[in-house]
Amino acid sequence: MLKDTLFNCDTNEIVKIISSILECIDDYSTITSDVGNNEFWLSRAYAFSKSQHRMLFSKSFGALGCSIPKAIGVSVSNGNKVLCFTGDQGIQINMQELMVISTNNLPIMIVVLNNQASGMIRDREKNRYNKLIHTTKESGYQALNLEKIANAYGLTYYQWDDSYNSLRKVPCIIEVRVCDGELIPFLPKGNPIQKLSPNLTETLYQQLDRS
């Protein structure tokens, strides 16, 4: 019940898209996650999905660019398909890994949640310093052409659409274009766990306080 209430106040468009991707990956063994807002979207979608897949997070280590290398490790060790989530900045740390995946034809589906921004850093800049530096297109961050990158490494490129199905050819890069802005709700620095921004309703706050 509390979970349902939280899901309804947490869910935005991208979480719904990730949820629908998680619904059709039965033949995949493992999910890997990167760092950034995309990690939180994936966590939310995963927490509310019925997925039993093993999920490898970075969490407090915060190592940007860790998702694709983890996917390679899993795939090489067990030979199974891996669903790998990353962001448009995270993937830029992994050019050589794309070559490894392509050369070895590893069965990895890379889903890039592309908000054309260094999203997590942008949000911190905005909320703490009210100034953006190199984190959005307008402030100097260069948006990626993922199709060209996929082509350069001989990987199949898809843009996500509603007709997604698990039969897509791997290895591949699936681009999900994310339009919504910052990650909400979030926990401002120094706040107790219930004091999210924007504020939870009083009823929900009380429920969390008791649980």
Ligand X SMILES: Cc1ncc(C[n+]2csc(CCOP(=O)(O)OP(=O)(O)O)c2C)c(N)n1
185 binds ligand X (CB under 6 A): no
| Span near ligand X by CB under 6 A; candidates 12-20, 113-121, 149-157, 191-199 | 113-121
According to CB under 6 A, which one of 63, 99, 144, 184 is a site residue for ligand X? Answer: 63
According to CB under 6 A, which one of 110, 118, 155, 173 is a site residue for ligand X? Answer: 118
The angle that helices 2-10 and 202-210 make with each other, rounded to 10 degrees, is: 130
115 binds Mg ion (CB under 5 A): yes
Residues 6+ apart with CB under 8 A from 154: 102
How far apart (Å, rounded) are the C-alpha atoms in residues 54 and 49?
Answer: 13
Q: Which does 107 bind (CB under 5 to 8 A by kind): Mg ion, ligand X, none?
A: none
Residues 181, 13 contacting (CB under 8 angstroms): no
Residue 194 is given by DSSP the state T
171 binds Mg ion (CB under 5 A): no
The angle that helices 37-48 and 13-23 make with each other, rounded to 10 degrees, is: 60
17 binds ligand X (CB under 6 A): no
Q: Which is nearer to Mg ion, 144 or 208 (CB)?
A: 144
* Residue 4 exposure: Cα atoms within 13 Å on the Cβ side: 1
136 binds ligand X (CB under 6 A): no
**Residues at the interface with ligand X (CB under 6 A):** 35-38, 62-65, 87-90, 113, 115, 117-121
